Structure 1
């Protein structure tokens, strides 16, 4: 078998540049390199590195890992869980992940510090060239066409200015979306945003068969007038003697932006049983915070040689705040379109293949996210949240449907009655 011939032109550093080596970037780089493309993967920090996250993946995210060829067995260092424990309105409900053809019947937990490096090294092993300590500062564009032809960056500890060139660039640079902004692609403020804070604690609850979600977040800063906030808290056992505890708030709430989230986290945890150990004395590290760009809040997802992937394109699920699985899902779709594009000559044929990326996203997630955006606006109203918690949680059958909807766990074909309801709802919802 003959060696592949590079498609690189004179002056180009790669066939594809991927900016950001988080789950989106590492996944895209793996698929691209596996297809024989010359991929340059640029990462601003060095591995291992910490990320603010819940560290838990639903079966939808696990499917992406399996598709990528990652060994997700417990023997390979993954802590499995069998479902979601929902707490609220005086009710505790344990809901097993549904048994589906499309997704595995288990979720996993793994610290992002370890998880992200595992994915980045997978990309390297498939042939992607990873450059760490390389902070991309903006796009280099063709003055005549406005098309992206590379990126400018600062490299190494000395932050020396450098540039890299390629005909196609994937922006996987997270919520900052610096590359998209440098190309004039702004976020859509009508789409929901979230903010999450999390902290690790030493706790006897470290080993748990369920991810735990608390649907009632009370702001008790004014004891005379406690407020129910639209958001959720989580307690995810890490299996190593610690738990990942955090909370998320939606921008559809009046409290968004005016709440001290770190103080709210402490206040919420002070209301948990003492024996759980979720107190200051047991904290393992400081409180970290991150923004959650949801529901395709930055578009177009493809323009002039630049594809927005993961958080850079607002891929976080507006129903439940999950981002990793959807970042990887969008990365796979982006890689498929780029692989097809680079098999064609430059010009209209290649552009048609690249334009297939936003179309593929809309077909896969557009209607579902549109429903999620509506859902986020509804629960932004405390009265709606209170009624939903009070009357919805005690109904186990209804909550099984809600779990499928919120986690995107349904079989579009040959599913059960719940799957058919969700599929019909997404078909009736416009995808854009």
Structure 2
């Protein structure tokens, strides 16, 4: 049994959890950040792009940025249709994520790995470590444990709508400063992408979860097409990854009793693009600050400020994207002209 009482325990040490831990620990309260994996050797399940606004929230340490991005180019049926100027960064997620955890620890948070959240109790949570369960006394729990959040399950607030992505790391023929997005009806509810990382690229396909069985074939065909176009040197992947991306928008319940949800656990990804690193950091920071205020003032009712605060910053932006996602899924079609109109109406940079 763990005897130490923690004011806040954060479950999941990705960008959302680490940001929440740092924000809470800055206030001087007792904060514990836990992760089930052998951090930071977790598999990367995203294309690793983040917009330049991330610099308003975190310091990009040496090695965290692999390269800068200058534009997002969109393709319909393999032909270019739009180029949207805008800068951002392709990350080395292991370096980036580790730097966020290091910042949380420097602020005063404790960090433990190999620890899985098993159940919520009236006065804390049960955690599983080395096959054994232990009681962890805590006042507040922050769930930052991914698309299928155990913490979200405890409060009956869970993601229901997903894209599923499958991605290769492949050698590029020529370096480039754009991220490339590809749309065809076969990529049902999603798209394909090429995100350059110096001499390599993250190349993947994402589709609605109900079509996941198509992914291996779709990705192989997409890779073959890129090879024919001369975009990549070799079709043999240097690495493979994949995972779920919540695209239903923020959950209706992101705070219940002494629990807050942030990042993917709260549905804070862009419903059209699936991008979620920056929104994870922002919601993590808000959750950490709200938790600290509730502890300092001995008033858990202050946790109700969390939904209000994230809504004021992200609500309108994510709601507009959710409506576009609904439009996409409702009117997805095989008809070439109608499909082109749909993508131009709903997708960023394709109008």
Q: What is the TM-score of this pair, normalised by structure 1? A: 0.73
**In the superposition, relative to structure 1, how do residues 385 and 27 fare at CA in structure 2: closer, same or farther (>3 Å)?**
farther
**1:419 — aligned with what?**
none
Deviation string, structure 1 residues 275-314 (Cα, Å, up to 9, x no partner): 3336543x1023x221111344534111110001111111
Deviation at 1:230, TM superposition (A): 2.8
Where do 5+ consecutive residues of structure 1 fail to align? 1-9, 98-105, 143-148, 219-227, 406-432
Aligned residue among 94, 103, 109 for 1:122: 103
**In the superposition, relative to structure 1, how do residues 199 and 334 fare at CA in structure 2: closer, same or farther (>3 Å)?**
same
Tell me if the contact between 1:135 and 1:154 (Cα under 8 Å) persists in the aligned partners.
yes
Aligned residue among 207, 211, 236 for 2:179: 211
SS of alignment partner, residue 82 of structure 1: strand
**1:80 — aligned with what?**
68
**1:235 — aligned with what?**
194
Deviation at 1:377, TM superposition (A): 2.2
Deviation string, structure 1 residues 40-93 (Cα, Å, up to 9, x no partner): 00011122322211011123xxx244323x136x78644211121111242243
Tell me if the contact between 1:269 and 1:279 (Cα under 8 Å) persists in the aligned partners.
no
Instruction: Give the RMSD, CA atoms, in angstroms.
Output: 2.8
> Is 1:30 aligned to 2:50, yes or no?
no
**CA distance in 2 between partners of 1:20 and 1:264 (Å):** 31
Tell me if the contact between 2:190 and 2:206 (Cα under 8 Å) persists in the aligned partners.
yes
Aligned residue among 29, 48, 54 for 1:55: 48
Tell me if the contact between 2:32 and 2:111 (Cα under 8 Å) persists in the aligned partners.
yes
**CA distance in 2 between partners of 1:115 and 1:235 (Å):** 20
Aligned residue among 185, 204, 216 for 2:156: 185
Structure with greater proportional strand content: 2
**1:390 — aligned with what?**
340
**In the superposition, relative to structure 1, how do residues 360 and 279 fare at CA in structure 2: closer, same or farther (>3 Å)?**
same
Tell me if the contact between 2:117 and 2:128 (Cα under 8 Å) persists in the aligned partners.
yes
**In the superposition, relative to structure 1, how do residues 373 and 238 fare at CA in structure 2: closer, same or farther (>3 Å)?**
same
Of residues 165-174 and 296-305 in structure 1, the stretch that sits farther from structure 2 once superposed is 296-305
**1:19 — aligned with what?**
11
Deviation at 1:341, TM superposition (A): 1.6
**2:204 — aligned with what?**
246
Aligned residue among 319, 329, 333 for 2:272: 319
**CA distance in 1 between partners of 2:57 and 2:245 (Å):** 25
**In the superposition, relative to structure 1, how do residues 135 and 385 fare at CA in structure 2: closer, same or farther (>3 Å)?**
farther
Tell me if the contact between 1:185 and 1:299 (Cα under 8 Å) persists in the aligned partners.
no
Of residues 309-318 and 370-379 in structure 1, the stretch that sits farther from structure 2 once superposed is 370-379
Tell me if the contact between 1:16 and 1:38 (Cα under 8 Å) persists in the aligned partners.
yes
**2:238 — aligned with what?**
284
Deviation at 1:379, TM superposition (A): 1.6
Q: What is the TM-score of this pair, normalised by structure 2? A: 0.88
Tell me if the contact between 1:270 and 1:279 (Cα under 8 Å) persists in the aligned partners.
no
**In the superposition, relative to structure 1, how do residues 196 and 161 fare at CA in structure 2: closer, same or farther (>3 Å)?**
same
**2:145 — aligned with what?**
173
Tell me if the contact between 2:81 and 2:350 (Cα under 8 Å) persists in the aligned partners.
no
Tell me if the contact between 2:143 and 2:259 (Cα under 8 Å) persists in the aligned partners.
yes
Tell me if the contact between 1:43 and 1:132 (Cα under 8 Å) persists in the aligned partners.
yes
> Is 1:372 aligned to 2:321, yes or no?
yes
Tell me if the contact between 1:379 and 1:385 (Cα under 8 Å) persists in the aligned partners.
no
Of residues 382-391 and 363-372 in structure 1, the stretch that sits farther from structure 2 once superposed is 382-391
**In the superposition, relative to structure 1, how do residues 86 and 372 fare at CA in structure 2: closer, same or farther (>3 Å)?**
same
**In the superposition, relative to structure 1, how do residues 402 and 186 fare at CA in structure 2: closer, same or farther (>3 Å)?**
closer
Deviation at 1:372, TM superposition (A): 2.0
**In the superposition, relative to structure 1, how do residues 298 and 391 fare at CA in structure 2: closer, same or farther (>3 Å)?**
closer
- Asked which structure has the greater CA Rg, the reply is 1
**CA distance in 1 between partners of 2:50 and 2:294 (Å):** 31
**In the superposition, relative to structure 1, how do residues 333 and 295 fare at CA in structure 2: closer, same or farther (>3 Å)?**
farther
Tell me if the contact between 1:64 and 1:329 (Cα under 8 Å) persists in the aligned partners.
no
**CA distance in 1 between partners of 2:293 and 2:158 (Å):** 28
Aligned residue among 299, 302, 308 for 1:359: 308
**In the superposition, relative to structure 1, how do residues 370 and 391 fare at CA in structure 2: closer, same or farther (>3 Å)?**
closer
Deviation at 1:194, TM superposition (A): 1.5
Q: Which has the higher contact order (CA 8 A, sep 6+)?
A: 2
Deviation at 1:329, TM superposition (A): 1.2
Where do 5+ consecutive residues of structure 2 fail to align? none
Aligned residue among 219, 223, 226 for 1:269: 223
